[in-house]
Amino acid sequence: MSGLLDRIADAFSSANDPNVVANQVAGAGTNTTFPHDLINQSTGRNYYIDIQFQEYQRRSIFDRAQLIATGGIQLPIPSNLRDQTSSNWSESNMATNAAIGAGIESFLQGKDNNKTLGATATQAGVAAATGFLEGGIKNLQEKYTGGNLYQLNGVAQNPFMTFMYQSPTFKAHQFEWTLSPRNQSETETLKNIIAQFKSNMLPDIKSGTGGTLLTYPNMAKVTIYPSGYLYDFKYCVVRDFTVNFAPGGPAFFNNSGAPVQVILSVGLQEIEFFTRSDITGKGISPVGGIPTNQANDIMPGHHV
């Protein structure tokens, strides 16, 4: 029995998180590069974006998860590099929140030990809401009985609004490339790249389920080279992929019938949000818990 419990605990441990097992990627995969001379280290030509696709695989809840490399795509750096960071905030009535907060404080101080924390906060919130409802009814009575003193005196009731933080958001990225193959070999490479994007963003039928279950699409690890002065990516999924095969009107090679130019548009969605620690250098890398960098700590009150 203890062995089974150990296996269940191990199944739900952090070691099975896709970010933690990222350094255990099995297989090398195959990189597809366009144009063929995009990367040339000897001449210093090493500016490109690298998109590595990985399949998250876990045969059962009792097995350790692993990432299987399915291949990557290397393209020129897109012309539009925008890194947008945003958070979710909401407006809230301060009076109601203050009443709930007072109830929680009362519980923590031991004044309501015979109640649960949720019951204490709920009671405080109901009392606050009841007070606002009674006040609203009174205001309606004053308004429709000719007693609207606020309007007559040119004033309005203070709603005591505040702005409450909710959560960070998942970053989204949109990239576009205009690509023109110079020969038949690059034409075939471009065809393969289009197929790679589509294949990695779509699910498949889970074998042995009679078509009732689907597998998950593959994840993408994106890196812009050289790194250090641009921005980093968490693991992404491909949300949308568009190909324009005739951006300047229909134009095709005579010998093959392939388009002479295509525009690829890719929408990526990160599946993990950034925290302050990721930016300050104290964060933990998705790869095996290694510090993201060795940036010096910024001490409180110290201007840099």
Residue 22 has pLDDT above 50, yes or no: no
Strands annotated E in 111-235? 161-168, 172-179, 219-225
Domain boundary among 144, 168, 192: 168
Number of domains in the chain: 2
- Residue pLDDT, tens place only, 61-95: 677 778 899 999 999 999 889 999 999 999 887 65
Determine contact, residues 43/32, Cβ cutoff 8 Å: no
CA distances from 13 to 7, 124, 268 (A): 10, 38, 28
Q: Is the pTM higher than 0.75?
A: no
266 class by beta-carbon count within 10 Å (0-12 exposed, 13-18 middle, 19+ buried): buried
Q: What pLDDT is stored for residue 1 in this prediction?
A: 55
Work out the mean pLDDT of the chain and round it to a whole number: 77
Domain enclosing residue 111, as ranges:
87-168
Note whether 187 and 258 are same-domain residues: yes
Which residue type, as a one-letter code, is found at position 50?
A: D
Note whether 24 and 144 are same-domain residues: no
Confidence band, pLDDT 50/70/90 cuts, at residue 11: very low
Residue 192 has pLDDT above 90, yes or no: yes
- Residue pLDDT, tens place only, 86-140: 999 998 876 555 555 565 566 566 655 555 545 554 555 555 555 555 555 555 5
Note whether 73 and 185 are same-domain residues: yes
Residue 261 has pLDDT above 80, yes or no: yes
Note whether 161 and 57 are same-domain residues: no
**Lowest-confidence region among 227-236, 263-272, 283-292:** 283-292
Q: What pLDDT is stored for residue 30 in this prediction?
A: 87
Confidence band, pLDDT 50/70/90 cuts, at residue 15: very low
